[in-house]
Amino acid sequence: MSQESSTAYLAKHDLERKIADAVAAALKARPANPLEFIGKYLLPKVSMEVTTVVTKPIAGQKPGTSGLRQKTRTFMGESYLQNFVQSVFDALVSEGVAVKGGTLCVSGDGRYFNSTAIQIIIKMAAAAGVTRVWCGTGGLLSTPAMSAVIRTRDPAGGAAPIGGFILSASHNPGGIDEDFGIKYNGENGGPAPEKLTDKIYKNTTTIAEYKICSGLPDVALDAPAKHKLADGFEVVVFPCVEDHVALLKKVFDFGAIKKLFERKDFSMIYDSMNGVQGPYAKAIFYGEFGAAPGSCINAEPKEDFGGHDSPSHGHADPNLTHAVELVAAMGLNKMGLPIETPKPPPSFGAAADGDADRNMIMGSKFFCSPSDSLAVIVANAQCIPWYKGGLKACARSMPTSMATDLVAKKLGIPFFEVPTGWKFFGNLMDSGSAAFPNSPSYIPFICGEESFGTGGDHVREKDGMWAVLAWLQILAAKNTDPSKPLVGVADVVMAHWAEYGRNYYARYDYDGVDKAAAEKMMAAMVAEQPKLIGTTINGMTISSADMFEYNDSVDGSISKNQGIRFMFSDGSRFVFRLSGTGVVGATIRLYLEKYTPPTGDLSLHAFDVIKPLGEIALQVSKLVEFTGRTEPSVIT
């Protein structure tokens, strides 16, 4: 071999060795996820160029108590979602929130348009200067799980999240012809305060442009992975159940609950209603407690929650009307009356709504109203490890029955009556913190509302799974001896009534009412209130009447026009309120309550007891005359 050919030969093999070494090093350092490996080593770098898109305001983008909700096709319209998201980012910047360089969480309840909306928000977050976006696998996070993630997830790189977008319309039906929604939760994990939502809305009325990194690729959300899309920007996909389940294991004694499941006389059925709760239900009831196969029904999230052909007609709302399969399995009809069943009902039943922040509790042929559920949980809170030192306060929304008031009085703890909307509870949960240093601390704290929402201070949202586990913890505490008969839901509730009395309670919903007509009805009632005080109608005397106003003792804010109240001399009352959760027309809610002391008849059916009160309410309100509606859409 010549000197020249020898040199060429060595050079060639030296180059091959260097290439081999480089490939070996790359393979050694490669991510476990093949998609990330491809993106890091084989694909060209993506563009982080920010595109500014000219737009104009779109009417009606005012967030309600649970964010912005509209028909799905409306959200899919040109610039509708983008306008709102940009308005949120602009409001956050004006409030001094460190959006640039921040970490943001984005996920939803899996309804139609969820995945597409997530990809749009990721690209807009990059344009806003966010450096890291967190997403649950499948783009899924229940509403309480989102709060848990914001509050507890170990932040990568030490950057705590600035907040998160929840893509959900809660219990409203899902599908391309149904509803979609979005709301922003802040760094405490709770819904944006009114001050911020007012700024967001103002921005939607003046917006002229939005910014987006349209050159970024869509991110695969189907498996946990870290996607580094460009220098200074990444999307982290994590298991959607891990943070929430980990937090709940700190709140409750899972070992004690598992022993309850080991009893041969205990059985349960849990209905996720094809909403986001399915993965959480299976992880907890099957994975942690060893529940029998078939205990979790409708546990696969679907974009339309099962659709119109399902028993619930795609309406993932945990109540007697819509949770058809669960209610029948527990031996009741939609009025809560017992029916014959082909086999004995399970001893415990529960359901969740689309985004899993609501709950329904049932026993064998027994329905526990949300108001009673809250009162029972507060009365028995000390059997739950998180509250073993005792509660410092509790609260309910104004329309919720006054059953919890009686418990708070006996416990000697502060009690609060707040407007509908979880953000009011959030202030009480953050009392005494750095956000409100001049307020006394009211935690540990439990709260709830009649609309099937209950929760504690572990997160800043209502938490359907928390409520179910609270009940299971109470049942576990009352069933420590397997040789004794099972103490069930009905036993616990009836013992509670025997001690505190019973607040017979029901709610009538009138959906899709002409909004102008509903507002005229409400205004007319307010005008008539002074004249009606002291009058007697159908044998019942009105002792007081007002429009509820809330003075927040934590932040000093005042919330007016929160519902019309009529109180009677025997302690009964009815309340009218316009709901902000619908997307078509207005929803009028009528709340009816009559108290019976422990010495009275506690065994009557609630709808029978409050019916005469409902007749008085319809007479006073002139609802039929104003709206033309003679029957409620739903009674719960």
By DSSP bridging, strand 103-108 and strand 132-136 are: parallel
Return all residues near 368 (Cβ < 8 A) that are at least 6 apart: 361, 362, 376, 489, 493
Bridge partner residues of 236 (DSSP): 134, 226
Among 413, 414, 410, 430, CA closest to 422: 430
Return all residues near 223 (Cβ < 8 A) that are at least 6 apart: 33, 137, 237
> Cα 136 to the chain's mean position, in Å?
16
- Dihedral pair phi/psi, residue 594, rounded to 5°: -135, 125
> Cα 54 to the chain's mean position, in Å?
34
Q: Decide: 364 and 328 in contact? Cβ < 8 Å.
A: no
483 given a catalytic annotation: no
Q: Is 188 strand, coil or helix?
A: coil
> Cα 195 to the chain's mean position, in Å?
21
As a whole number of angstroms, the distance between CA 405 and CA 30 comes to 59
Residue of 66, 107, 168, 170 marked catalytic: 170
Locate tokens 């027309």: which residue? 585
Q: Is 349 strand, coil or helix?
A: strand
- Dihedral pair phi/psi, residue 253, rounded to 5°: -95, 90
As a whole number of angstroms, the distance between CA 503 and CA 592 comes to 10
> Residue 363: in which H helix or E strand, if any?
strand 359-363
Residue type at position 230? A
What DSSP designation does 338 have?
A: B
Q: Decide: 350 and 359 in contact? Cβ < 8 Å.
A: yes
Residue 293's CB: how many other CB atoms inside 10 A? 6
Q: Decide: 458 and 247 in contact? Cβ < 8 Å.
A: yes
Angstrom distances, CA of residue 566 to CA of 201, 587, 592: 33, 19, 10
Which positions are catalytic?
A: 170
